[in-house]
Amino acid sequence: MDTSLAVWLVVALSVAAANLPFFTERVFGFVAVKPAPGGQAHGKRFALRLLELIVLYFIVGAVARLLESRIGGVFTQNWEFYAVTACLFLVLAFPGFVWRYLRKRRV
């Protein structure tokens, strides 16, 4: 696989994975959330969306590491790398957050 193609694949996967928790009411896009016991139909709570975002960060990281190992040697990373990529993943999730929580809803 070409290096440039692998980089763009990881970027596209990151954008999609970062916004997935905010654009769907299902966990990881597949598992439906059960309604609250009171009969009220609540969607996913913010804590569940945040947990899903963290899990998706690690999944995208594993895919990126796999692609890096197929291209050549895998570089060792320190904590700074993970701090920067986690912040970048949160920035990529901003459009989904705005769409879910800050957009005015028409009634």
Q: CA 22 to CA 89: how far, in whole Å?
A: 13
Q: CA 40 to CA 87: how far, in whole Å?
A: 34
- Both structure tokens of 84: 């920067």
Q: What does pTM read for this prediction?
A: 0.85
Residue 51 has pLDDT above 90, yes or no: yes
Instruction: Please report which confidence band the pLDDT of residue 106 belongs to, taking 50, 70 and 90 as the band edges.
Output: confident
95, β-bridge pairs = none
Q: Where are the domains of the chain?
A: 3-102
Residue 24 has pLDDT above 90, yes or no: no
Q: CA 84 to CA 87: how far, in whole Å?
A: 5
Query: CB of 19 within 8 A of CB of 96?
Result: yes
**C-alpha 15 chain-centroid distance:** 7
Instruction: Please report which confidence band the pLDDT of residue 28 belongs to, taking 50, 70 and 90 as the band edges.
Output: confident
Greater confidence, 43 or 38? 43
